[in-house]
Amino acid sequence: GTGYAEFAVLRGDPSDGLPGVKGVGAKTAAALVTRFGTVEAILAALDDGTQDGFPAGARAKLEAARDYLEVAPAVTRTVRDLPVPALDDALPSTPRDPGRLVALADRWGLDSPLDRLLAALEVART
């Protein structure tokens, strides 16, 4: 959901290249997102001097990572207003090029998966 991006900024996500806040693990990140909702709200609470809602020791770790926290959310935000054209999402009843599909399966040793696919589509192998 939308909270994952905030969580990943705090905890880190190596697959996305996010280092996270040093010393903030999954439990602390989850508690912060639950309490504040966004990294921006966490930064605002730090600015206000708010003590409430910060797990023990987290406030100092977040302050130390302020520069990172000010820029990282921009990297994780997903676009929500991009126009997407209408797509035909109907599953084709037959492969577009059965011979090419068979050659590909032979090349990569995918005969069994191809046979299952063709059986599901009720198409004979050619």
pTM: 0.63
Alpha helical stretches, state H, the chain: 2-11, 26-36, 39-48, 58-64, 66-76, 98-108, 111-121
Does domain 2-76 fall into CATH 3.30.70.260?
no
Q: What is the mean pLDDT of residues 93-109?
A: 88
For the chain, give the percent of residues with pLDDT over 90: 57
Which pLDDT band holds residue 6 (cuts at 50, 70, 90)?
very high
Start and end residues for every CATH 1.10.150.20 domain found in the chain: 2-76
Q: What is the pLDDT of residues 32-87, one digit of tens each?
A: 999 999 999 999 999 998 788 888 899 999 999 999 999 999 888 888 899 989 98
